[in-house]
Amino acid sequence: MTAFWKMVWSITVAAITGGLLLQRLVPSSSLYIAAAGVVFSVAVWIVPPVVLLIPPKKPRHSLAAVGFIISLLVIECCLSLAALSLSLVTFVGGEHHALAWFSLLATILFWPLAFALLNLSHWLTRNERKR
């Protein structure tokens, strides 16, 4: 198993286990679990623009740019898994389903938009090179 999948599974298991334990030990914690899911789903939308706006310390070569995009996708995948896990925990044992639906839909809607923007940027840079 690669390091990526170990990290993904550890984050998912930690979010689910922590959420379920918190719901069992503190019955009124479902609001906090749902709010944590919303925070992670908002972070899914905020982290990429913030990271992309930070200027690099030195110019990136093409391979470094690819590694940067891959690491950004890994971070987004981990944030998305945490948001989805917490929203599913809220659905299973919580009372605040509206927050869980928001978290679920915000996270799911991010990925098609992100891939569409990646394809658009690839298409635009390819057309600029042809000129």
Domain residue limits, the chain: 3-130
Please list the ranges in the chain whose pLDDT falls under 70. 1, 4, 127-131
How many CB atoms are located within 10 Å of the residue 60 CB? 12
At 129 the pLDDT is: 65
Based on its alpha-carbon atoms, the radius of gyration of the chain, rounded to whole angstroms, reads 18
DSSP state of 56: P
At 17 the pLDDT is: 83
Q: What share of the chain is helix, strand, coil (3-state, %, to 5)?
A: 90, 0, 10
At 62 the pLDDT is: 76
At 130 the pLDDT is: 66
List pLDDT tens digits, range 10-38: 877 888 888 788 777 887 778 888 888 89
DSSP state of 28: G
